[in-house]
Amino acid sequence: MAEQNLYPPSREFASRAHIQSLDEHRRLCDKARQQPEEFWQELAERELHWFERWTKVFEWNPPFAQWFTGGKLNASYNCLDRHLSGPRKDKPAIVWEGEPGEERIISYAELHRMVCRFANVLKGRGLKAGDRAVIYMPMVPEAAAAMLACARLGVTHSVVFGGFSAEALKARIEDMGAKTVITADGGWRRGKIVELKAAVDEALTELEVRDVIVLRRTGHPVPMQAGRDYWWHELEQSVDDGCPAEPLDSEHPLFVLYTSGTTGKPKGIVHATAGYLLQTTLTMKWVFDLRDEDVFWCTADIGWVTGHSYVVYGPLSAGATVVMYEGAPDFPQFDRWWSIVERRRVSIFYTSPTAIRALLKQGDRWPEAHDLSSLRLLGSVGEPINPAAWEWYYRVIGKGRCPIVDTWWQTETGAILISAMPGAVPLKPGSATLPLPGVEAEVVDLNGNPVPRGEKGFLVIRRPWPSMLRTILNDPRRYEEQYWSRVRDSYFTGDAARQDEDGYFWILGRVDDVINVSGHRLSTMEVESALVRHPAVAEAAVVGKPDEITGQAVCAFVTLKAGRADHDGLAAELRQWVAHEIGSFAKPAEIRFTEALPKTRSGKIMRRLLREIVTSHAVTGDVTTLEDLSVVNRLAAQHDEE
């Protein structure tokens, strides 16, 4: 193995790790490859509680998979009940801090009681296994309790990020066919109330649901519609603390999570119970080397898959103490996170490269003002981390003693698939390192042939894995076409990658029309559709441009209908329009007005050329299919002038 840029695990770390050597890592990978059924069967027996054992480990009818066929279990039971018969009963499950400064420490026994009570609330409102609910809440313990209460009954939940607009929320409620929406009067962000209930009311002006259950979080007055809206605390007054977990089929849909795709309509990614829970539990040990005494903090919101897998299901199934924080990392000042790490004695810290770059930019004095000696492992998620940010994270936050697990995975994969096992695999800044056992990843061309080491290609997964998505809700054909038709017999990730001479994977970004903003995938089509709904816009094309903080930023090229000449005022108006239609995180960082967009002779907008203009400031690719080359020349000249 090449020595350049390698950071091997320390002897002390490796001696206590779950996986202690590269040889042990290789043996696990070999067994998973050669005896996959035996490999996954042993892990399922060891890691999860089952009400009934499965009859078959997996069935693969491409592109549809089933894992642990015939088995029965419950995710909520695995996250709570099985911990109550031992010392974890009184162990903190959630350590929560609200942005205004409130604090709560909730034991496993207390969280179990919260979940059972709310499950009885849902049951009292007529919800049962097979029904669907939407959760639109701030980062408070009740949000995790709502997820686990749904899981306890077999109600498939879809958590919608609180930063999404009413329009985006409406689309998800409608596609889910949800009977119930669970929300709050609001949440806190940078000292201001995020008005969640108001967004729910707006989303439901043209939709009907049976119930809206509202948590009182801020005390901000909100209208309550009689016969539809109910206060959480009032419904809980008439329920008891006991609610048995429903034995559910291993393939019962645990949740649906919407993610942007290459068309305007978000995809409802369906995850099943057993395979998802197994792999999220396993990766807590393999990737984060979780020990019983650890305090684990993943900074993601539960509205994203990272929050599902590594704030709620994975850590609680593994018996961890989980830190939850509601609010911004830089409020009231830039050391808020480091203050929490110090006070809560966080030992494992998992965040995004966007956050790392933003905090790096503020200088070393903020983290150096705090005692971060409790940290023993750092993680990165959401997008590739550039080596400079990696080095700062390693040196300033980890003090040169904490391994960094740079994890690659997706909403669709459910759990981490490529990452170092920190006690076994030497690290390289910027590389996700190696696939985990049972994950057959390759870099290929579009014919499915492996490309030579060092060359760029498409990242694919060659065989099914337990936590893989099962389908796209209401659209199995789209599932097949989008993920399984590009490269034969392989899952197409949509990411470009290369492997170096040591076999390490380097993720190079998206190859489709999806922008990765702060680790959140955003469809260019979705933003374009929002822009052209504005009465002043005739046409729009959206591309991603490099941004030192967010990784990528939204850049929109817009042509106007006749009659609007106030470009500065309209640009601000359009940014706010997109924020209203989708959410503030989708707001374009830049809007460029143009008389025309570059198109092929068949009328297709050549976004590739726009991407070249905003990234390399020049057009070097093939332009032979362009209808009018002067359009590109004018756009490039306009960019140079700016």
Strand order in the sheet with 457-461: 441-444, 457-461, 491-499, 505-510
CA distances from 621 to 497, 624, 625, 629 (A): 21, 9, 11, 12
Structure tokens at 600: 């092929």
CB atoms within 10 A of CB 206: 8
Residues in a beta bridge with 539: 559
Q: Are 585 and 389 in contact (CB under 8 A)?
A: no
pLDDT for res 565: 67
* CA-closest candidate to residue 250, choices 216, 280, 219, 275: 275
Whether residue 451 lies inside any domain: the answer is no
Q: Which amino acid is at 519?
A: G
Alpha helices in 508-566 (DSSP H): 524-532
pLDDT for res 585: 86
Sign of CA dihedral 522, 523, 528, 533: negative
Whether residue 618 lies inside any domain: the answer is yes
Q: Cα-Cα-Cα-Cα dihedral of 280, 284, 285, 286, to 10°?
A: 70
CB atoms within 10 A of CB 444: 18
* Strand, coil or helix: 167: helix
Cβ neighbours of residue 276 closer than 8 Å, sequence gap 6 or more: 254, 309, 313, 414, 415, 466, 467
Question: Alpha-carbon Rg of the chain, whole angstroms?
Answer: 24
* CA-closest candidate to residue 262, choices 485, 442, 66: 485
Q: Tell me which DSSP letter residue 531 carries.
A: H
* Strand, coil or helix: 135: strand
C-alpha to C-alpha distance for 530 and 326, rounded to whole angstroms: 29
- Segments of the chain scoring below 50 in pLDDT: 1-3, 262, 602, 624
pLDDT for res 3: 39
Structure tokens at 203: 């989303």
C-alpha to C-alpha distance for 529 and 359, rounded to whole angstroms: 33
C-alpha to C-alpha distance for 119 and 244, rounded to whole angstroms: 9
Whether residue 254 lies inside any domain: the answer is no
H or E element that contains 611? helix 607-615
pLDDT for res 604: 60
* CA-closest candidate to residue 488, choices 32, 62, 34, 60: 62
Q: Are 641 and 595 in contact (CB under 8 A)?
A: no
Sign of CA dihedral 146, 151, 156, 161: positive
Tokens 């201001």 identify what position? 192
Structure tokens at 580: 């209203």
Cβ neighbours of residue 244 closer than 8 Å, sequence gap 6 or more: none
Whether residue 18 lies inside any domain: the answer is no
Q: Which amino acid is at 503?
A: G
- Beta strands in 70-155, from DSSP E residues, in sequence order: 72-73, 92-98, 103-107, 132-136
pLDDT for res 264: 56
Q: Tell me which DSSP letter residue 408 carries.
A: B
CATH of the domain at 532: 3.30.300.30
C-alpha to C-alpha distance for 442 and 204, rounded to whole angstroms: 45
Question: How does pLDDT run across 559-586, given as a tens digit for each residue?
Answer: 887 766 678 789 999 999 999 888 888 8
pLDDT for res 2: 42
pLDDT for res 320: 98
Q: Are strands 211-215 and 229-231 parallel, antiparallel or unpaired?
A: parallel
Q: Are 567 and 556 in contact (CB under 8 A)?
A: no
φ, ψ at 203 (rounded to 5°): -65, -30
Whether residue 612 lies inside any domain: the answer is yes
Domain count, the chain: 1
Burial of 559 (0-12, 13-18, 19+ CB in 10 A): middle
Q: Are 23 and 14 in contact (CB under 8 A)?
A: no
Whether residue 203 lies inside any domain: the answer is no
Q: What is the 3-state secondary structure (H, E, C) of 189-206?
A: ECCEEECHHHHHHHHCCC
Question: How does pLDDT run across 287-314, given as a tens digit for each residue?
Answer: 999 999 999 999 999 999 999 999 999 9
CB atoms within 10 A of CB 361: 12
Structure tokens at 528: 């374009």
Whether residue 159 lies inside any domain: the answer is no
Whether residue 603 lies inside any domain: the answer is yes
φ, ψ at 290 (rounded to 5°): -60, 135
pLDDT for res 345: 98
User: pTM for this structure?
Assistant: 0.86
CA distances from 460 to 9, 413, 492, 494 (A): 28, 12, 5, 8
Tokens 């942005």 identify what position? 99
Domain that holds residue 529: 520-641
